[in-house]
Amino acid sequence: MTLMNTQMKTLNLGTCRILFASCLSALCLIALNAQAATITVTNTNDSGAGSLRQAIADAHDGDTIDFGVTGTITLTTGELLVAKSISIDGPGSDHLTVDGNHASGVFWVQVGGGGTAAIAGLTITNGNANPGGGISNESSTLTVRNCTISGNSAPGAFGTGGGIYNDVAFSNGTLEVLNCTIRGNSAGDNGGGIYNYGGSMIATLKVVNSTLSGNSAHFYGGGIYTISAYGGSAPADVLNSTFSGNTAGRFGGGIYNNAFTGGSSPLVVLHSTFSDNSAFGGPSGGIANVSGTLQLGSTILNASSISNDSGTITSLGYNLSSENGGGTLMLGPLQDNGGPTFTHALLTGSPAIDTGDPNFDPNAFNPPMLYDQRGSGHDRVAHGRVDIGAFEIVMPSYAGQVQPPINADGSSTFNVRRGVVPVRFNLTLGGVATCDLPPATIAVTRTAGGVIGQVNESDYSGNADTGSNFRIGSCQYVYNLINGQVVGSATFGLN
């Protein structure tokens, strides 16, 4: 009897375990089904059925919010609180805007506890809040992708994070900014574009394929302010990104990196372009490193200096600076050069072209750095060696046209596109074909009005009867035909 009772107890216990496991599986299946839900925003109202605010309130962890509407959502009842692990997937920053109406912040993300959230495909503008005029991320893992964050402010003497504020209020926090434009945001204190605060915990910041331009801070960090303290850490990585025209009232026009009272702030900047950033307190328009560590590699510093105060700066090589006699780096203006963000193109003749790390490995990055800042369609390595900075120039080759025979004292004009172009033509001197003469040399001289200046003839020469490759701009060159002595010239307009 005892044995039977024991067997029954064992059977009952086993049955309970099976039933429990079955119930648990069913609950997990239900949970997974719930996580797969998609809620569609159907109007641009501030609140009520079909609004973004209502969709956020109705969402559960794992849900996705998408949009069946375009236009502008103007907030009239305060910021949007995101306290769940959800994704807000907009139709594109040029199609949908969430406007803070200059009266409140736009998004307050407070998932916490290891929760994650994502915001994509939106313009976030006219937010007004301290901290975080556009977005305030507290102790959450937040990814902001393909967004424009512009015209937001964190006002007041202690205003921080005009565009985005990343904080560790009660646990670690992570902010990833991918393929974004952060433009024209301001802070009354620090961090016009982004403020990253590690405190006594860990605040991680990663900026990839993004442009920060025209942001301002009254004191420090026009583009980014990142700081740690009290044993905490604020690691920040900036990859394939552009900082242009950011300003700080004191130091760190582009980035201010600070560690104090036992904190650590390791900052890594790779394959990025800094241009025309300024700080009015001293020579730190590009980056100010204060007691932190900075590693800098394959980066352009054009009118954007670096300062160091009690910190450590390590060059990883292949950096270019216009400071201290560095010369003209030949960057184009900040403009649409393709891709989702504005960039500074490399102009023909820029010392950044094909002078980056010869051992560059795109797979050394996560995700692999296959493209320049502009993304797909713009390979990171175009001519066998990577360019320095965030932009990779492509100089296409075109088969040169064979020109009709010309006389040395005549002229002929033909058009080719910018790039490395094989220029081939037939030449007659006094009625005798070139091939019947000793090899002639084509010496190249830029005519007046060229943007680079005189070209040394020895830099561009070749045999007239075989053709040569010339790296050209969009202006006119003169080919002097030489056979022992100058016998004439022919002018070709290259466009």
What would the mean pLDDT of 98-114 be, rounded to a whole number? 94
- Which pLDDT band, with edges at 50, 70 and 90, does 429 fall under? very low
Give residue-wise pLDDT tens across range 364-397: 998 899 999 999 999 999 888 999 999 999 865 4
Other beta carbons less than 10 A from residue 469's beta carbon: 14
DSSP 125-191: E--B-SS-SSEEEESSEEEEES-EEES-EE-STT-B-SSEEEE-SSS-EEEEEES-EEES-EESSB-
Give the whole-angstrom CA distance, residue 222 versus residue 91: 29
Look at residue 480 in the predicted model and tell me its pLDDT.
37
Look at residue 427 in the predicted model and tell me its pLDDT.
38
- What torsion do the CA atoms of 261, 262, 264, 265 make, to the nearest 10 degrees? 0
- In this structure, what are the phi and psi dihedrals at residue 98, rounded to the nearest 5 degrees? -110, 120
With 50 as the cut, is the pLDDT of residue 113 above it? Answer: yes
Structure tokens at 342: 């504005």
Give residue-wise pLDDT tens across range 451-469: 333 333 323 333 333 333 3
Give the whole-angstrom CA distance, residue 428 versus residue 410: 10
Give residue-wise pLDDT tens across range 125-164: 999 999 999 999 999 999 999 999 999 999 999 999 999 9
Q: What's the whole-number average pLDDT of the chain?
A: 80
- Which pLDDT band, with edges at 50, 70 and 90, does 35 fall under? low
Look at residue 423 in the predicted model and tell me its pLDDT.
39
- Give the residue, 260 or 494, on which the prediction is more confident: 260
Give residue-wise pLDDT tens across range 205-228: 999 999 999 999 999 999 999 999
- Would you say 160 and 129 are in contact if contact means Cβ atoms under 8 Å apart? no
CATH 2.160.20 describes domain 38-364 = yes
Look at residue 406 in the predicted model and tell me its pLDDT.
35
Give the whole-angstrom CA distance, residue 71 versus residue 51: 13
